[in-house]
C-alpha cells in the first residue's frame, strides 16, 4: 500500500522544525528514520496532513559525554549508538540493547528518538531509558521540557510528548564503577520484535549489590520497571536464591496480554526466565569486569 497524501517539509534547523510543529500541531508528524512511521502510513493507521522530516538537522545527531553520563541527540541512528565507544563506556546497557534491535538495515535508519517517541511496548530503547532513569528533553515554542522516563511512557504507543513538541535529546546518568549490564530477550526469529525482554544493570560493592536496575519490554502496554525485583537483590545480595526470588517477583509484577504471537502466561514466564538470565549475566560482568 501507499501512504495517504501529505505535505512535506524538510527543515534545516531545530528552530525551523519547532516552528513548523507549532503551526501544524496535531496535523503534523515528525519523520525520523521512518522505520515505524512509514509502515504506519502505508497501512493507513495514521493520516497526518504534514510530514516534518528532521533528517537534515545535523544538530539533532550526536553522542557526547555529559555530567559523567551521556547525552544523545534524537536523530542519532541506532547503528551509531551500537558502535559508539562513549555509549559502551558511559551507558553500556544501551549498547547491549541496541544490538538486539531489528536487523542491521533497520538500525542504520532507525533513530533513538524515533523509537522512544513511537513507544512500542516490545521495543528495547524504552526499557533501557526506564531502567536507567534517563531524561527525555522535548522542545516546543514554549521552551524546553525535561521529562523523566518514569513519566514519559503513558500507554500503548503513547508518550507524554505534546503534538507540537520535538524530542531533541536523551540524557543518561553516569554508570557507577563496578557495574555490569545485560539485555536478554526472546523473539521468534532473529531480528523480530521481542516476545519479552529484560534490561538489567547491577553495581556490586563487595558482597553487596549497591544498585540494581531492571525493566521489562513486551510485558505490558509500555516498558515496566521491575522495582520489587530490584529491591530483593539490593536487600538480599546477588546469590542464586536471591536472583530466583527476584525473577519470581518480576513475573508477578508485569501485565502481559495474549496475542497471535504468545499467550499472557507464556510472556509472564519469559519475564521470569529473562530476569534470571539478565541478572546472572549482569552480576558476572560486574564481578569480572568483563563485557
Ligand X SMILES: Cc1cc2nc3c(=O)[nH]c(=O)nc-3n(C[C@H](O)[C@H](O)[C@H](O)COP(=O)(O)OP(=O)(O)OC[C@H]3O[C@@H](n4cnc5c(N)ncnc54)[C@H](O)[C@@H]3O)c2cc1C
Residues at the interface with ligand X (CB under 6 A): 29-37, 54, 74, 101-102, 106, 109-111, 113-115, 117-118, 120, 123-125, 161, 166-167, 193
Closest contact distance (angstroms) between CB of 272 and ligand X is: 21
Answer for the pair 212, 237: CB distance below 8 angstroms, yes or no.
Answer: no
Q: Give residue for cell 521470569.
A: 272
Of 44 and 231, nearer to ligand X (C-beta) is 44
Of 35 and 84, nearer to ligand X (C-beta) is 35
Closest contact distance (angstroms) between CB of 178 and ligand X is: 29
Cα distance between residue 18 and residue 205, in whole Å: 45
3-class state of residue 165 by DSSP: coil
Of 11 and 102, nearer to ligand X (C-beta) is 102
Of 167 and 238, nearer to ligand X (C-beta) is 167
Closest contact distance (angstroms) between CB of 271 and ligand X is: 17
Which triple of cell numbers denotes residue 253? 509484577
Closest CA to 26 of 165, 232, 132, 135: 165
Q: How far is CA 194 from CA 82, 98, 126, 150, 255, in A?
A: 18, 13, 13, 22, 16
Answer for the pair 101, 189: CB distance below 8 angstroms, yes or no.
Answer: no
Closest contact distance (angstroms) between CB of 129 and ligand X is: 12
Of 57 and 254, nearer to ligand X (C-beta) is 57
Q: What are the percentages of helix, strand and coil residues in the chain, rounded to 5?
A: 40, 25, 35
Cα distance between residue 179 and residue 282, in whole Å: 8
Of 91 and 249, nearer to ligand X (C-beta) is 91
Closest contact distance (angstroms) between CB of 4 and ligand X is: 15
234: left (phi over 0), alpha (psi -120 to 50) or beta: alpha
Closest contact distance (angstroms) between CB of 124 and ligand X is: 5
Amino acid at each position: 500500500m501507499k501512504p495517504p497524501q501529505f505535505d512535506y517539509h524538510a527543515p534545516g534547523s531545530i528552530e525551523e522544525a519547532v516552528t513548523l510543529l507549532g503551526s501544524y500541531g496535531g496535523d503534523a508528524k515528525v519523520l525520523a528514520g521512518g522505520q515505524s512511521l512509514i509502515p504506519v502510513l502505508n497501512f493507513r493507521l495514521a493520516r497526518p496532513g504534514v510530514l516534518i522530516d528532521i533528517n537534515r538537522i545535523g544538530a539533532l545527531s550526536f553522542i557526547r559525554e555529559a555530567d559523567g553520563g551521556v547525552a544523545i541527540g534524537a536523530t542519532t541512528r541506532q547503528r551509531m549508538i551500537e558502535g559508539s565507544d562513549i555509549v559502551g563506556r558511559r551507558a553500556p546497557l544501551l549498547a547491549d540493547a541496541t544490538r538486539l534491535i531489528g536487523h542491521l538495515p533497520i538500525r542504520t535508519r532507525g533513530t533513538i528518538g524515533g523509537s522512544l517517541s513511537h513507544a512500542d511496548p516490545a521495543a528495547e530503547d524504552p526499557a533501557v531509558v526506564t531502567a536507567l532513569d534517563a531524561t527525555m528533553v522535548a522542545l516546543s515554542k514554549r521552551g524546553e521540557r525535561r521529562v523523566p522516563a518514569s513519566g514519559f511512557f503513558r500507554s500503548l504507543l503513547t508518550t507524554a510528548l505534546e503534538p507540537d513538541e520535538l524530542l531533541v535529546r536523551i540524557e543518561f546518568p553516569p554508570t557507577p564503577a563496578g557495574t555490569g549490564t545485560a539485555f536478554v530477550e526472546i523473539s521468534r526469529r532473529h531480528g523480530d520484535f521481542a516476545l519479552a525482554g529484560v534490561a538489567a544493570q547491577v553495581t556490586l560493592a563487595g558482597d553487596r549489590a549497591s544498585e540494581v536496575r531492571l525493566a521489562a519490554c513486551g510485558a505490558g502496554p509500555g516498558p515496566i520497571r521491575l522495582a520489587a525485583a530490584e529491591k530483593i537483590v539490593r536487600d538480599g545480595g546477588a546469590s542464586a536464591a536471591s536472583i530466583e526470588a527476584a525473577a519470581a517477583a518480576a513475573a508477578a509484577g508485569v501485565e502481559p496480554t495474549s496475542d497471535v504471537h504468545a499467550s499472557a502466561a507464556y510472556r509472564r514466564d519469559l519475564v521470569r526466565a529473562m530476569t534470571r538470565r539478565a541478572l546472572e549475566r549482569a552480576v558476572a560482568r560486574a564481578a569480572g569486569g568483563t563485557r
